[in-house]
Structure 1
Amino acid sequence: MSLSQEHLESRFIKFSDPKINKLVYPLPTTWWSRPYEYQWCRAFVNAQHTVLDAACGISHPFKFYLTQQSKKAYACDSDPLICSFEDILRDIRTDIGEAAAAKIASEFEDNHLFTQASITALPYEDKLFNTIFCISVLEHLQPDHAMEALQEFNRTLQDDGQLILTLDYPTVNLEFFQTLVHDTGFDFCAGTNFDLPSDALHTDQWGGLYCFRAALKKQAAVIF
């Protein structure tokens, strides 16, 4: 499926953008940006693709959605709980509820390609993935670690692959982010708009945050 230039545009997420309140299981109302992030990310999922949910979280459902919708879905997180299906179920039970945990237990087997790993040193071969998703992660990284992570994403993406990510602003400086994209071998897939719109999605928590989305592709190889 060919995506529109509007969908590929890197920009702030708006309150007027589409959102989803259920992905595999109902999303908590406290997850202020995930309903919008997941809805946007869904359009990049392809049944023929091998994908990665990078720094996937334990109770978050996107890794299970990818398992359902992709040819092959990997997920990694630095938390060792990601290696235990029972621990994942326990975390879902705590964060989401008993019904969500029961749904995962009944619909998914304990044979997922889930790995404990830092995104700064991915345990995957070169050019394995068609698409890498990294949702609300960069704001948790120091600048040098963010650079290492994007370098690893570049290494493990196929030449025509895409990196689909979101980040919190102003925790992540957007000028730094633009430099980071270029310096790690990526380009923006389409247009960019770094202006903060009047209806930008935001939360007053943590001093006030906005959510920026970015669709990236590997820079074209230079042939001499």
Structure 2
Amino acid sequence: MRIQQPYSRFATAAEVMTDEFQSVIRVMDEITVRHNLPDHSDVNQERYPWAKGLLNVPAFYAARMWEYPFAIHSAELQDGMLCADIGCGMTAFTIYLKEIAKCGVIGVDPDAFESGLRYKGHGVSREFIRKTGLEIIQCGMEAIALPSNRFDRVFCLSVIEHLPPAAARRGVQEMARILKPGGRLIITVDVNMHSDITRPLDLVWESGLLPLGEIDLQWPARRFGIFCDGKQPADVFGLNLIKRDYWVEPQYVSPSGGKDAPLIPHWAIPGLRRPTNGSAHTRPRWRRAAGRLKRATAVLFQK
């Protein structure tokens, strides 16, 4: 069932309380308790006061009360679809894809260990894999060890904001690569009014994929939580992107004739660009030098 809202939008506590979202939350809660997954009750109380009393113990991270239903509903899953959960950790979400949605699923996480828990469920233990029967491979998202054009749905929930910009850029390109034409990439990221922890539209540009439907960039009136990037406030944005099957010329071809340029798929365009060490919006060096000179001159005239 499609949510009657833009496919890409901000999280709100009000949407968490809807019947549509609560139906998914209840199942995720049951899975978390049944598998005794990592407990986030303490941080939930500090960061998301509105979530008090909504989850049992152990409790999954409260922001996922929006992220999980957003991902499930906007993916419009069907039995037998093949899904990849990138940066999966040990969460109810991957289990849900297998047990409830009846999808084939492969989890991807760079951190593997034998048993027990690490901080708030980061990484995946081999004990967890044995108990759940999940297929999880150990690798980073910068080089995902999965074949191209394979997956109907790829999910990456609250992972990208923890990565350096270069790794995030390469990661979304890799996720686009493994997605099959017509497939969807569902991403959620932390965003902050006071810092550039992530820029959702940059992720669209760097992925080479296309937005599915409307992107609603209007900030909600109320903040989602009280922690993000070490600062207040916290917000979350969800993206729903699609891989179309069309090809483009990477070079200009004169309309008067000449040899046609070889075509490339649209999602491969970001790979043509030379990576930068800083922001893509960094001003040319001569402009930065001119700006410094202007400021220095202003200081001299003030003396």
State the TM-score, normalizing by the size of structure 2.
Answer: 0.60
Structure number with bigger Rg: 2
2:142 and 2:174 in contact (8 A); partners too: yes
| Structure-2 separation of matches of 1:157 and 1:202 | 32
| Structure-2 separation of matches of 1:128 and 1:33 | 29
1:151 and 1:185 in contact (8 A); partners too: yes
Structure possessing the higher relative contact order (Cα contacts under 8 Å, 6 or more residues apart): 1
Show the counterpart of 1:101.
none
Amino acid at match of 1:12: F
| Structure-2 separation of matches of 1:156 and 1:163 | 10
* Structure 1 pair 204–71 and aligned structure 2 pair: CA distance change class (3 A): closer
The correspondence for 1:153, drawn from 171, 175, 186, is 175
Identity of aligned residues (%): 22
5+ residue gaps, structure 2? 34-38, 45-60, 122-126, 250-303
Give the Å deviation of 1:52. 0.7
Show the counterpart of 2:150.
128
Give the Å deviation of 1:4. 4.3
Matched, 1:65 2:88: no
How many equivalent residue pairs?
204
Amino acid at match of 2:162: H
* Structure 1 pair 201–22 and aligned structure 2 pair: CA distance change class (3 A): farther
State the TM-score, normalizing by the size of structure 1.
Answer: 0.80
Amino acid at match of 1:77: D
| Structure-1 separation of matches of 2:103 and 2:69 | 20
What SS does the corresponding residue of 1:202 show, helix, strand or coil?
coil
Give the Å deviation of 1:190. 1.1
* Structure 1 pair 110–193 and aligned structure 2 pair: CA distance change class (3 A): closer
Give the Å deviation of 1:51. 0.3
Matched, 1:189 2:189: no
What SS does the corresponding residue of 2:197 show, helix, strand or coil?
coil
Amino acid at match of 2:117: D
Matched, 1:25 2:51: no
Give the Å deviation of 1:54. 0.4
RMSD (Å), alpha carbons = 2.7
The correspondence for 1:78, drawn from 103, 110, 118, is 110
What SS does the corresponding residue of 1:25 show, helix, strand or coil?
helix
* Structure 1 pair 62–110 and aligned structure 2 pair: CA distance change class (3 A): closer
2:8 and 2:240 in contact (8 A); partners too: yes
Amino acid at match of 1:195: Q
Higher strand share: 1
5+ residue gaps, structure 1? 97-103
What SS does the corresponding residue of 1:201 show, helix, strand or coil?
coil
What SS does the corresponding residue of 1:35 show, helix, strand or coil?
helix
